[in-house]
Chain A
Amino acid sequence: ETGVTQTPRHLVMGMTNKKSLKCEQHLGHNAMYWYKQSAKKPLELMFVYSLEERVENNSVPSRFSPECPNSSHLFLHLHTLQPEDSALYLCASSQVGGSDTQYFGPGTRLTVL
């Protein structure tokens, strides 16, 4: 596989469920990102991992918990979400010290019932 992959592509969950989103990059990059795309809003940066260390957390509620076990994998653990958390969640990767161009996965469409 090449590029950035995300699983699952679609997820429907109840407010009491616990689920995880997975992202994998095959580009040899050293930084990974989670973004949220809500309807009619710009892409919002949620978390940044650089060299496997979290360097940014944009005031994201604690019901979202990221994990970066190595430079190729990124998870977003979800628990007790709210219906307003329904959105498209995009993962991206880049090479720190390079052009800052980010390479995106196709996203996970999340619906919280």
Chain B
Amino acid sequence: ILNVEQSPQSLHVQEGDSTNFTCSFPSSNFYALHWYRWETAKSPEALFVMTLNGDEKKKGRISATLNTKEGYSYLYIKGSQPEDSATYLCAFPNKAAGNKLTFGGGTRVLVKP
């Protein structure tokens, strides 16, 4: 069983502030790490697929970094807006199971105006 953990479970952020949260995953047999954004009453939406140690990806005000040696990834939101309120999920493909995704518990972000 793979251990994919996200911290914190929830986060309240004031509008305009920046924030970040983590995903930790097994550092051995690394293949890729996925980030998803899940707004209430909508479908989870793919944000990033990260594959290289030291990789940094960016989409608007959201960016992510990857450290495969120590087994963690950070997701950053710069200048948070109310529309950033969502649950952010990371997922780790399990090589031993045909790369099926194992999801973390998510970080629920609430941006207050």
Residues of A within 8 A of B (CB): 3-4, 40-43, 45, 48, 50, 55-56, 90, 99-107
**Which of B12-20, B54-62, B94-102 binds A?**
B94-102
Q: Which of B89, B97, B106 sits near A56, CB closer than 8 Å?
A: B97
Q: Please name 8 further chain A to chain B contacts, defined as beta carbons within 8 Å, in addition to the given A45-B100, A90-B43, sorted by A numbering.
A: A41-B105, A42-B104, A42-B106, A55-B98, A56-B98, A56-B100, A100-B49, A105-B43
Q: Quick one: closest B residue to A56, CB to CB?
A: B100
6 contacts between A and B (CB under 8 A): A42-B103, A56-B97, A99-B49, A102-B34, A104-B43, A106-B42
Q: How many A-B residue pairs have CB under 8 A?
A: 48
Contact residue range for chain B? 20 to 34
Tell me whether B34 and A101 are in contact (CB under 8 A). yes
Contacts of B99 in A (CB 8 A): 100
**Candidates B36, B93, B105; contact of A100 at CB < 8 Å:** B93
User: Known: A42-B104, A56-B97, A56-B100. Contact between A103 and B46, CB under 8 A?
Assistant: yes
